Structure 1
Amino acid sequence: MDSAGAGTAAVGAVADRMRRLTAGLPPGDGVAVFTSVYVEVTGEVAGRLAAGGFADSAMAAELAVRFAGRYLAAVEDDARGREVPACWRPLLRMRAHRDIHPVQFALAGINAHVGHDLALAVVDTARATGAEPAALAADFDRVGEILTDIEMRVREALMPGPDLLDLADPLTHIVGSWSLDRARDAAWAAARLLWALRGADDAYAECVVRLDAGVGLIGRFLLTPVRRRRPALGRPVPESPVPERPVPERPVPERPTPKRRVTERPGCQSSGSNTGAISS
């Protein structure tokens, strides 16, 4: 079997592991959502390997297998109760949250995998093959093209509907604030830095920890729960009919009419005193 055939078989074996991983998971599970996306990625990589679409098929297959292996190791370690990289914790901890949409699970997985795992997979592959990371640059870009194509499909397929394509909507804001292209560029820069630090154990380890933590922080943002969609700016808020409640009539107490007091003036007599005779 030639290198392309061997690489295709190795990538196919990784895809089979992913299918087995999702077999017993509910469709809305965050890990199931991302893994289903990743199965598409591995299928595209295997197809390109078979067609000779990489500059170095052996190195590209090595990169793809080591890349996928980091994700699978994180899921398996989590299932066994072991510590997992910080970049994967948001997805693994919030995988069953009802207020997180599938598109968020998918992008959070891509963020963790590209931002952290891809950089380390480049270093792992360079060490395993004895090549410099620069020798992987062309195939790194080809893998990136596949990821970009899959990400576009994910956004189109998993966004709830065209009514959410509004900048004022929280879900649209979240998924629109993350860029795969920038994550890929950062991963390549991180890989080059880590390769330069490979002889300085302390600095290398510190860089890996900081990279992991930073990508994990982005993952937490991407998995912000979105409970309900708010109306877009400029659109009227639908009003719910509020039944009118009758105002109870209160009895008005009758106010008594005040009695007028007649005051006699000095020197005046009442009409009854006129009956007497006038003396002479």
Structure 2
Amino acid sequence: MATVTAPLAPAIGALRTLAATPPPGDGVAVFARMYLVVTQAVDRHLRLTRYFQDPEATGVLAVLFADRFLDALDARPAPACWRPLLALRRHPGIRPIQFALAGMNAHIEHDLPLALLDTCARTGRALHDMSADFHRVNDVLAEVEEKAREELAPAGHGDDPDEPLLHLLGCWSIDRARDAAWASAHALWELRSRPEAYAATADALSDSVGLISRCLLTPLR
């Protein structure tokens, strides 16, 4: 089991490598750079006394959460939720902010609820035991998402040619994504004793999340 001493060191190293992978506009690298900031922030908070109510379980969650993204890169076939980003990662008509949000969409709405269930199974916690620290992690995600929008999204308005992009990005909300992740975790929690229903629900979740990511990655130039 992961410990709180330095649980995220391997994931941080892997994300640094991905973030530095050329070309700079590669969609996976764009998301990895943003996710690296998230993971480093969570790692710092794990070292802060009393920030998390249950730092041991949160450390396990953070590792399992990161592993789902890293494993998706080598999976054959890739999970449906990650296929749009992997297939379109070098498309010249897709902006960096689209890559970043498509990655967040796949990671939060699909990977996070499954990582929560995996954490409960690994640590013996009930889902409700994870609620408080889940929302603390969400605060970190929200801060990074806001900064990413400021750094990567153009400030178009009115007759600005980038207005279609702003309209597209306005359709995705990290608050709704986090709420959906928690709701999905609850549904999966209730199905944990029914393997076939659990697997079917998880597969459907991956498909629907992938569809949203594909829409977010609509080429606009």
* TM-score normalised by L of structure 1: 0.75
* Percent identity of paired positions between Structure 1 and Structure 2: 49
Mapped partners of 1:43, 1:167: distance in 2: 39
From the CA coordinates, give the structure whose radius of gyration is larger.
1
Among candidates 83, 89, 111, match of residue 117 of structure 1? 111
Give the match's secondary structure for 2:67: helix
Mapped partners of 1:167, 1:87: distance in 2: 34
Q: Does 1:145 align with 2:135?
A: no
Mapped partners of 2:31, 2:5: distance in 1: 22
Among candidates 68, 71, 76, match of residue 70 of structure 1? 68
Unaligned stretches of 5+ in structure 1?
A: 228-280
How far has the Cα of 1:21 moved from its partner? 2.5
Instruction: Please say if residues 91 and 109 of structure 1, whose CA atoms lie closer than 8 Å, have aligned partners that are also in contact.
Output: yes
Q: Does 1:41 align with 2:33?
A: no
Mapped partners of 1:165, 1:126: distance in 2: 45
Residue 80 of structure 2: aligned partner:
86
Q: 1:167 to 1:154 in 2, by over 3 A?
A: farther
Instruction: Please say if residues 117 and 189 of structure 2, whose CA atoms lie closer than 8 Å, have aligned partners that are also in contact.
Output: yes
How far has the Cα of 1:166 moved from its partner? 4.5
Instruction: Please say if residues 21 and 29 of structure 2, whose CA atoms lie closer than 8 Å, have aligned partners that are also in contact.
Output: no
Unaligned stretches of 5+ in structure 2?
A: none
Q: Does 1:12 align with 2:21?
A: no
Instruction: Please say if residues 167 and 173 of structure 1, whose CA atoms lie closer than 8 Å, have aligned partners that are also in contact.
Output: no
1:231-246 alignment, distance < 5 Å:
none
Q: Could you list the runs of 4 or more consecutive aligned residues of structure 1 that deviate by over 6 angstroms after TM superposition? A: none
**1:221-269 residue CA offsets vs partner (Å, 9 max, x unmatched):** 1001111xxxxxxxxxxxxxxxxxxxxxxxxxxxxxxxxxxxxxxxxxx
Mapped partners of 1:71, 1:83: distance in 2: 14
Give the match's secondary structure for 1:83: coil
**1:5-25 residue CA offsets vs partner (Å, 9 max, x unmatched):** x42511122111111223332
Residue 151 of structure 2: aligned partner:
157
Q: Which structure would you say has the larger RCO, counting Cα contacts within 8 Å and 6 or more residues apart?
A: 2
* TM-score normalised by L of structure 2: 0.94
1:101-112 alignment, distance < 5 Å:
101-112=95-106
Mapped partners of 2:171, 2:90: distance in 1: 23
How far has the Cα of 1:201 moved from its partner? 1.5
**1:89-119 residue CA offsets vs partner (Å, 9 max, x unmatched):** 0000000001100000000000000000000
Among candidates 25, 29, 32, match of residue 28 of structure 1? 25
Matched residue type, 2:14: R
Residue 212 of structure 2: aligned partner:
218
Q: How many residues align?
A: 218
Q: 1:173 to 1:128 in 2, by over 3 A?
A: same
Mapped partners of 2:158, 2:139: distance in 1: 27
Mapped partners of 1:152, 1:193: distance in 2: 28
